[in-house]
Structure 1
Amino acid sequence: MLMTDQPDLPEGETRRQGQATSQVVDFHEYKSARNPPPVTFHRRELDQILRVYGRMVGEGEWRDYAIDHTKDRAVFSVFKRSGETPLYRIEKNPKLAAKQGAYSVLNAHGTILKRGHELALVLKVFDKVLKLVET
């Protein structure tokens, strides 16, 4: 049996050389156009986020996290206690990359604390400022 990517012809008809049949579409392009993959954090992005997370866990500020990948954004949620609403959400939204920046940090009320094009700069919102205390 001969397998081709061309449609079957009715019984008794033959295909002539050079006869146009149908358009060939790349399978990967077709699949991504019909059902786009979810937005995810890349390994380097997760490394940066988990570095901040580990530091905050060590300080007793955070205790749990969740990662969500949806079709339009990736979200890293931070919790004080599991089962509560997240204290902070670190979001990656590629649609905003050309405008305000793909990365943002939101608090529990949904207020944007910091937004930008580089994740490392956005995560600086969690850096504590040391104050000089005179005795």
Structure 2
Amino acid sequence: MKKAKLFIFILTVLICSTSDLKSQVFSPDPFLEAYSNSLLYGDYLDHANLYWEKTFFINKWYDKQGIRRVAKNFYDNNETLEHRFTRLSHGYNREGDLEVIVMEYHKVRNRKTGQISSTTVKKKFVLYYWKNYYVYQQIILK
């Protein structure tokens, strides 16, 4: 009986410490920081390289070339002045991909008109992992 209790105790400690370690090791924060930095300091290729080869972006599926065009169009027309995420939640879906719910604040200057605008949007990112995280889906939530 003592051995069974000891085994259950050790198993519980391992599960709890592993789940805590997992939440630290597999945090979406480094990805979100890279995303913001690509908007603030990078170019359209830096940003496009954060997306997987096939990506659902806002309301449509894009291949790698398509997402590069979207990023190039954005960078050609806008300069990011401020960008940040507030992470609301994160966890893994049935497929093993990391799902992250965020509030995204983005302030831009239109390169043609000089007009400055900002927006705050609630989004869901589904991140696929292959040596790094990549956006597999980016969905605007209501």
Q: TM above 0.5, one fold?
A: no
Which structure has more helix as a fraction of its residues? 2
Higher relative contact order (CA 8 A, sep 6+): 2
Question: Which structure: greater strand fraction?
Answer: 2
* TMscore range, shorter length: 0.3 to 0.5
TM-score, L = length of structure 1: 0.35
Larger radius of gyration: 1
